[in-house]
């Protein structure tokens, strides 16, 4: 990159875009063991909650509660164990866009099955 | 002389300085920094970005299985509830504990690599390996129970246990199913084996990679800051954990009370 930059007129903005300067969001962030341990305990707590919730009679809400707890646990894993909380905007956007596409695909499939025999369940 | 030439000439000194610095030898950057990357941060981010794209395709893959499971569960609800009741909730919970712990030890392994602690890295990877193997062992025991009960889909499959539940099962509130609905428990077990089997395959692939990484780590690898492999393996391992975080409640728990 820096080799081709010289062809363009030198300007003040060039300095702002110096690739060697480094951007704060790109710098390696080391997550501390303390954070990992808190997340580990939270995941254990979530597991206990979801097992406990499965023994309560909540009718159609049983699966909803189970999936909600699983989503919270997965979010903790993605943000902290997988470092997305400390990653660049590019990574956050990529993961977010992927999950959004996933939700659209699953959502539309399920919407089709729910609406096809509407009222006949 | 055109303007652009003039600018080029004016910049010549600057460019020469840059190229000179770069070709002087490689004192200014570690040997593992590839020349087409501007910085180590960029190289690491590129590797993680690629890993995440792969994991997103994996999410789509497992997502298809989850969607199939939810739709079939809606269609053959009594069969899916009865099938789910045969799973061992204790072994399922234990496996969740084992896998979450292995994710934690792997995260600690990444931290040890980042802070250049060789012993810590080796022990974290050993712990992750043992927990991973423990998970597969418990899973194998569950599969064996399915084999004994003739709950493996195929020619040996039998739905008799759902048509005529045992005395013990009847006492605990299990209701006998009609023969045609009982036959649909085979669909439940097909999805059960497809989903947990694909998950276990990912675990096996992970364990193979983990063994290679552990062998290298004992010989002093990853202590020079070149830890891209450790980090991206960590992403893979945590992803496998996330799949189980969804598999466990959907297969074992949500039909528990019905």
B22 part of a folded domain? no
Instruction: Provide the token pair at B172.
Output: 């605990």
Q: Tell me the C-alpha to C-alpha distance, in Å, between residue B40 and each of B46, B78, B129, B249.
A: 10, 56, 29, 41
The tally of CA atoms less than 13 A away on the side-chain side of residue B217 is: 25
Cα B135 to Cα A60: distance, rounded to the nearest angstrom: 31
In chain A, which residues have their Cβ closer than 8 Å to the Cβ of B81?
none
Task: Please give the tally of structural domains in chain B.
Answer: 1
B195 part of a folded domain? yes
Query: Which residue range is the domain that position B220 belongs to?
Result: 37-253
- B1 burial level (CB within 10 Å; 0-12, 13-18, 19+): exposed
What percentage of chain A has pLDDT greater than the value 90? 63
The pLDDT of residue A3 is above 60: no
Whether residues A1 and B107 touch (CB distance < 8 A) is answered with: no
- A99 burial level (CB within 10 Å; 0-12, 13-18, 19+): middle
B70 to chain A, any CB pair closer than 8 A? The answer is yes
Instruction: Provide the token pair at A43.
Output: 């995941």
Distance between B64 CA and the closest CA of chain A, angstroms = 8
The pLDDT of residue A18 is above 50: no
B38 to chain A, any CB pair closer than 8 A? The answer is yes
B126 part of a folded domain? yes
Write down the pLDDT at residue B190. Answer: 97
Q: What is the pLDDT of residues B171-189, one digit of tens each?
A: 888 889 999 999 999 999 9
B9 part of a folded domain? no
Q: How many Cβ atoms from other residues are within 10 Å of residue A105's Cβ?
A: 14
Write down the pLDDT at residue A118. Answer: 79
Instruction: Provide the token pair at A38.
Output: 């808190």
Write down the pLDDT at residue B15. Answer: 46
Whether residues A54 and B18 touch (CB distance < 8 A) is answered with: no
How sure is the predictor about A116, in pLDDT bands with cuts at 50, 70 and 90? confident
Residue in chain A lying closest to B52 (CA): A95
How does DSSP assign B33-68, residue by residue?
A: S-TT-SSHHHHHHHHHHHHHHHHHHHHHHHHHHHHH
Whether residues B59 and A99 touch (CB distance < 8 A) is answered with: yes
Query: Using a CB cutoff of 8 Å and minimum separation of 24, what contacts does B128-133 make?
Result: B128/B102, B128/B210, B128/B237, B129/B207, B129/B210, B129/B211, B129/B214, B131/B98, B131/B99, B131/B101, B131/B102, B131/B105, B132/B102, B132/B203, B132/B206, B132/B207, B132/B210, B133/B207
Average pLDDT of adjacent 10-residue blocks, chain B of 258 residues = 48 46 60 88 93 97 96 93 95 98 98 96 98 98 96 95 90 89 96 98 98 97 94 98 97 86
Query: How far is it between the farthest Cα atoms of chain B?
Result: 100
B104 to chain A, any CB pair closer than 8 A? The answer is yes
A28 to chain B, any CB pair closer than 8 A? The answer is yes
pTM tops 0.90, yes or no: no
B210 part of a folded domain? yes
B85 part of a folded domain? yes
Q: Give the CATH number for residue B142.
A: 1.20.120.80
Q: What value of ipTM does the predicted structure carry?
A: 0.86
A36 to chain B, any CB pair closer than 8 A? The answer is yes
The pLDDT of residue A100 is above 90: yes
B247 part of a folded domain? yes
Instruction: Provide the token pair at B131.
Output: 């927990």
Chains A, B: CB contacts within 8 A come to: 163
B19 part of a folded domain? no
Cα B54 to Cα B63: distance, rounded to the nearest angstrom: 14
Which bin fits B222, alpha (ψ -120 to 50), beta or left (φ > 0)? Answer: left
Write down the pLDDT at residue A14. Answer: 43
């Amino acid at each position: 990159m820096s080799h081709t930059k010289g062809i363009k007129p030198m300007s003040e903005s060039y300095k702002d875009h110096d690739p060697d300067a480094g951007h704060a969001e790109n710098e390696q962030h080391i997550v501390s063991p303390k954070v990992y341990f808190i997340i580990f305990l939270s995941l254990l707590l979530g597991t206990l909650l979801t097992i406990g919730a499965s023994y309560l009679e909540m009718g159609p809400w049983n699966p909803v509660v189970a999936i909600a707890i699983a989503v919270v646990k997965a979010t903790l894993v993605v943000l902290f164990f997988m470092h997305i909380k400390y990653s660049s905007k590019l990574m956050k956007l990529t993961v977010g866009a992927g999950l959004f596409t996933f939700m659209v695909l699953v959502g539309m499939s399920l919407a089709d099955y729910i609406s096809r025999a509407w009222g006949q369940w | 002389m055109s303007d652009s030439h003039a600018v080029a000439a004016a910049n010549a000194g600057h460019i020469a300085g840059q190229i000179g610095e770069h070709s002087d030898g490689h004192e200014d950057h570690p040997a593992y920094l590839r020349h087409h990357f501007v910085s180590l941060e960029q190289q690491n981010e590129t590797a993680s970005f690629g890993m995440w794209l792969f994991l997103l395709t994996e999410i789509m893959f497992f997502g298809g299985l989850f969607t199939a499971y939810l739709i079939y569960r809606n269609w053959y609800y009594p069969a899916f509830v009865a099938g789910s009741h045969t799973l061992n909730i204790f072994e399922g919970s234990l496996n969740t504990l084992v896998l979450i712990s292995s994710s934690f030890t792997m995260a600690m392994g990444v931290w040890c690599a980042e802070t250049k602690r060789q012993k810590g890295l080796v022990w974290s990877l050993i712990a992750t390996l043992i927990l991973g193997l423990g998970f597969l062992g418990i899973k194998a025991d569950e599969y064996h129970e399915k084999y004994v009960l003739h709950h493996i889909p195929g020619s040996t499959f039998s739905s008799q246990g759902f048509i005529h539940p045992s005395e013990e099962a009847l006492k605990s509130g299990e209701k006998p199913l009609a023969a045609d609905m009982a036959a649909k428990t085979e669909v439940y077990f097909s999805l059960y084996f497809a989903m947990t089997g694909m998950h276990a395959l990912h675990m096996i692939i992970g364990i193979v990679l983990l063994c290679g990484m552990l062998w290298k780590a004992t010989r002093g690898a990853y202590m020079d800051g070149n830890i891209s492999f450790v980090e991206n393996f960590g992403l893979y391992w945590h992803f496998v954990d996330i799949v189980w975080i969804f598999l466990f409640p959907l297969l074992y728990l949500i039909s528990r009370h019905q």
